[in-house]
Amino acid sequence: MDFQPVLDDIVSTLKPELGAGKVASYIPALARVSSHQLGIALRTREGAEYCAGDATTLFSIQSVSKVFSLTLAMRNLGEVLWQRIGREPSGNPFNSLVQLEAEHGVPRNPFINAGAIAVADRLVSTCGDGRAEILALLSSLCGEAVAFDEEVAASEAETGFRNIALANFMKGFGNIDNDVAPVLDLYFHQCSVAMNCVQLARAIGYLCNDGAHPLDGSALVSDRQARRINSLMLTCGTYDAAGEFAFRIGLPCKSGVGGGIVAVLPDTLSLCVWSPGLDETGNSLLGMKALEMFVARTGLSVF
């Protein structure tokens, strides 16, 4: 199937709505990003690539990075990872302290902030250099060198009071093994990685290919692990709007407050959409509309 006309039509149709939503102003470095941008990219399992709009513009991947840090942790630890991290949807905001207290410092899933911080703690324990391993993984998956945006990382460290609280809270419950500072440093840096839609659609391709590396075909994770990551994306990947995403789109997705959303149709294709304006749940407003339009125009979903 030639997906180019579909992507072009989506961008053209949504162009009058550019600027909708609000950028993540609580992170100063993201507050300056123009919301009048929309990009979309697609990669088939066989390696054909398509893109439209602002698909080659770099942006802060933010919580999209949690898919890749989780992948590293699952490779390093296997089933041991789940001893102190849950796998259930949260139904609460991604940075909720109330839920974490009620559940004795055990994060509900690896895609809320507390869960991703707990994953970062495991990476600090198992990686020689967690920052370098995340960059190496992402660069390998997309076939291009990627880097941290140090301004974004510093901005998050300076204003991430709730994330600091979450980490210390879990430390108080004994659910963080390492000193909080290096754990948060890794977490803030993984969120600051700058990539574009084309790179992310390529990088996430192992999840539509039974865990095989999208470029060289080597086993990145097992097919079982790939299915588990996809299932977590479907049920937990878009904060407390996961049910709405499943209902309206029907694809495993992972979003970030930088405006990016990656999506996977197992055995078929991977997608990335980006538009910085967010809705009230912290998901890209036009990104969600673009994905809904894609599914409507192609009839492709997991259901």
Active site residues: 63, 66, 187, 239, 257
| b/e 63-90 (16+ beta carbons within 10 angstroms → b) | bbbbbbbbbbbbbebeeebeebbbeebb
DSSP category for residue 34: -
User: Do the beta carbons of residue 226 and residue 211 sit within 8 Å?
Assistant: yes
Cβ atoms of residues 10 and 294 within 8 Å? yes
DSSP 168-181: HHHHHTT---S-HH
Closest C-alpha to 238, from 256, 211, 224, 222: 256
How are beta strands 193-195 and 260-265 bridged, if at all? Answer: unpaired
Residue located via tokens 């507390």 = 114
- Token pair listed for 122: 């495991």
Q: In whole angstroms, give the CA distance from residue 122 to residue 21.
A: 35
